[in-house]
Structure 1
Amino acid sequence: MIHGGTLVDPTGTRPGDVLIQDGVIVSAGNRVESAPAGTVVLDAGGCVVAPGLVDLHTHLREPGREEAETVETGSRAAALGGYTAVVAMPNTEPAIDSAAVVRQVLELGRDALCDVAVAGSITVGREGTRLAPLAEMAALGVKLFTDDGSGVQDARLMRRALEYASSLGVTLAQHCEDSSLAAGGHMHEGEWSSRLGIPGQPAEAEELMVMRDLALCRLTGTPVHFLHLSTARSVAMVRGAKASGLPVTAEATPHHLCLTDACVAGYDTVFKVNPPLRSAEDAAAIRAGLADGTIDAIATDHAPHAKEAKEAPFDQAPPGMIGLETALGVALSELDLPIERVVALLSWKPAAIAGLAEHGRPITAGIPANLCVIDPEMEWTVDPARMASRSRNTPFAGRTLRGRVRHTVLAGEPVVVNGQAQR
């Protein structure tokens, strides 16, 4: 039983206890005076009880880069962050571009501390030249496809992929980056790149592909999901597309809504990410897009890297930041939104985009018990050494955040209790 909390879900907010048996919620919304004998009681006093968080954009690195992360360590970080499901991105080694690799990752996720869904590659090897066998992967339950890490550069191939996706009932997600325009850039092109002497990526490298894929969405009628939007004009274009009725969705990361290219002033590679941290005006536009519904979800783009990789010179270090354990705290600390809106951005809205039917659902009798308990007022300081991820490349080290997960329940099993993983 989860006792003493306030329930927050797509139906609204109300006080109540949640009683769970055999992995399923048996009652919710009323105070339980006496639980059955032997009931495990999780204290939710002063807390919000919500559907488990869902991350649309997690790099678990396995197979191929286990020195940075594994499915087990990544899922542990996710559970501690309140996530009951994550979507594993396909830029592994080998890429998740076939049914065989999909099966491998699903098997690795069988005993994870959160549900692990798989995103498949749009093209073979993520090389952008031939379509991957989307139907074979979709038959295994893959609902989201992307060449994340690079955008599909060939417009004709992207059109074919969208037409194919329409017949399969799956969603294509795009990493929007014109590679010819972004080539050689290691941060946002602007005042700070000029000051620091670091070659930059112009905002237009993202915006050109957003513009192209909005046109392809209009041409094919097939939904498109835009990964990690980072510029004000990208947000404006998606806002206009939604107003005209196009079936598009978008996500933004915790780091793009609050960090800027000025963070790179010390040449610290922890602030190197792709797309790069943009200007303060761009970050403000991301926050506005989250507030008005233009951006549908907050996704971590959790991108772990081994310590020695991030210690390379700035132009040689790989881009990426970890974020599963800090996303909730960053969102609650940085967004001027009620907690109900923040939880929606982290839970049921991404669950709907990912097609994860057992997550993000209203807290009511008869549904799977995938839940998190959030203390919205708890203040804590980010300490990389205490994180569950195998990597330590967080841009929020030393920062005090407000809001932290107290308990996480996966299929009725408490996998995090009082902020501690249970296995």
Structure 2
Amino acid sequence: MNLLIKSATVVDPASPFNNKVADILIEKGIITKIAKSINEDVKTVEAKGYYLSPGFFDLNCNVGELGLETKEDLQTGTAAAAAGGFTGIALTPNTHPPVHSKAEVEYLLNRAKNNLVDIYPLGAISNKREGKDMAEMFDMFKSGAKAFTDGNRPVQDAGLMERALLYVQNFGAKVISYPEDTSIAGKAKVNEGVVSTMLGMKGIPALAEELMIARDLYLAEDTDSEIHFTTISTEHAVELIREGKRKGLKVTCDVAAHNLILTDEALMGFDSLYKVKPPLRTQKDVDALVAGLKDGTIDAIVSQHTPHEIEFKDVEFEVAEYGIIGLQTAFSLALQVGLPVGLIVEKLAINPRKILNIDVPTVTEGATANLVLFSADGEWEYTRANNRSKSYNSPFIGQNLKGKVLLTCNNKQISKF
């Protein structure tokens, strides 16, 4: 795999070529030379006006395998990831069976061998994700799980969460919390507020998320543990985590790309494509999330890619499943928010890997080529034809989006789009 990328603007704070226009020569999967001008008789990509950065990494990705392959399998999931600029994805354990022992971790890693996209299975905190007994976390860690979460099931038992935080300290893993107090959220489907009242639907209060964040921050402080909150969505959640960081707690968090763009007003037509969890909140919450990204309170942006077959989404809003597919649109949505390219690379490529304590690729000579080439200005239409996922549950299909991924490169493989 030899390739010459001409006149790309490098975006990588760890590279001596950061923010500089350069030619990059890749030979056998290694960046062998970076210079102002390189002339080699190899396949060449003209990249003037485009950006080159480390490949993106998704901390919250749902792929149906194991057991739910009709929604998504590893082949289609990684294809969608590569098309969205991702060269690494962390898989939640929301499968059937769940990833709660080393057998599932090893199966996924074996299935993902020789793929352009690196796979990182996240192990369950509790056995069967039931929130009762702790799963075999150390065995899963030894087999390749870097962090532990019950996925879209919040850990309601504070004692279980405390034990998990203490236990993973012994081997340097991390606990990921999906913050929701289910006793407050109940069976509601949308954000509690003006829109839920207009729709005549019971709402999920912001308090359901914020109480769980407050609880887990106290637990992390008491145990002197690291904790990561995934898909925060409210203004006060941002404030709680900001205060936790100010106090010196070992806390990080991420936000789903669609929660940076959409508000609960999108639900006025009862379109189940907009049914997600945490639910779409208010414009005030969206503004706080964007501000949290800019000031460093929020560390990463995730796709929260959640594929579903048509029979689970093209139904009445009340019974439809939560979630949208997001791997191919996360970068475009981050641009739509108005975030600068350098900050997007930090939130999509660099910080997610730091959170999982895995090596961050760099655009330097001698480094393995783990890269994404993208345009911040180019527009593309997201269609059913160019959707790489097995599922189609995205409200953005049929829309023109800004920000186009042109090429991904990793593991001596290249995909061009």
**TM-score normalized by the length of structure 1:** 0.95
Q: Percent identity?
A: 38
Corresponding residue to 1:150 among 148, 153, 168: 153
Does the CA-based 8 Å contact 1:20-1:412 persist in structure 2? no
Taking the aligned partners of 1:111 and 1:63, their CA distance within structure 2 comes to 19
**Residue pair 1:256, 1:283 contacting (<8 A) in 2 also:** yes
- Letter in structure 2 aligned against 1:56: L
Q: Report what 2:39 is aligned to.
A: 34
Match of 1:401 in 2: 401
Aligned to 1:5, what secondary structure does the other structure show?
strand
Indicate the residue corresponding to 2:361 in structure 1. 361
Distance 2:87 2:51 in 1: 16
CA RMSD of aligned residues (A): 1.2
2:342 aligns to what?
A: 340
Give TM-score scaled by structure 2 length.
Answer: 0.96
| Matched positions, count | 411
Q: Deviations over 1:72-119 (max 9, x none)?
A: 101000001111000011110000000001111112211433111111
CA contact under 8 A between 1:10 and 1:361: conserved in structure 2? no
Which position in structure 2 is the counterpart of 1:380?
380
Given candidates 199, 202, 209, the residue that maps to 1:199 is 202
Which ranges of structure 1 fall in alignment gaps of 5 or more residues? none
Q: Is 2:110 the counterpart of 1:107?
A: yes
State how 1:64-143 maps to structure 2 within 5 Å: 64-143=67-146
8 Å Cα contact 1:382-1:400 kept in structure 2: yes
Letter in 2 for 1:412: K
Deviates more, 1:42-51 or 1:94-103: 42-51
Which residue identity does 1:355 align to in structure 2?
A: N
Structure 1 match to 2:353: 351
Per the TM alignment, residue 243 of structure 1 is displaced from its structure 2 partner at its CA by: 0.8
- Indicate whether 1:45 and 2:48 are aligned: yes
Deviation at 1:31, TM superposition (A): 2.7
CA deviations on 1:343-383 (whole Å, 9 max, x unpaired) are 111101111112231xx432112221110001111012222
Deviation for aligned residue 1:315: 1.3
Deviation at 1:44? 1.5
Contact 1:72–1:113 under 8 Å retained in 2: no
Give the whole-Å Cα distance in 2 for the aligned partners of 1:33 and 1:301.
Answer: 39
Which blocks of at least 5 consecutive residues in structure 2 are unaligned? none
Supply the distance in 2 between the matched residues of 1:122 and 1:89 (Cα, whole angstroms). 11
Contact 2:116-2:413 within 8 A present in 1 as well: no
SS of equivalent residue, structure 2 residue 139: helix
2:24 and 2:143 mapped to 1: Cα distance? Answer: 33
- 2:296 matched to which residue of 1? 293
Q: 1:318 aligns with which of 321, 342, 345?
A: 321
Task: Give distance in 2, aligned partners of 1:225 and 1:397.
Answer: 31
Per mean C-alpha deviation after superposition, the further-off stretch among 11-20 and 274-283 is 11-20
Once the two structures are superposed, what CA deviation does each residue of 1:24-71 show, in whole Å capped at 9, x if it has no partner?
A: 21122x134321x4x222222210010000001100110111111111
- Asked if the contact 2:116/2:411 (under 8 Å) is kept, the reply is no
Contact 2:105 2:144 in 1 (8 A): no
**Distance apart, 1:208 and its partner CA:** 0.5
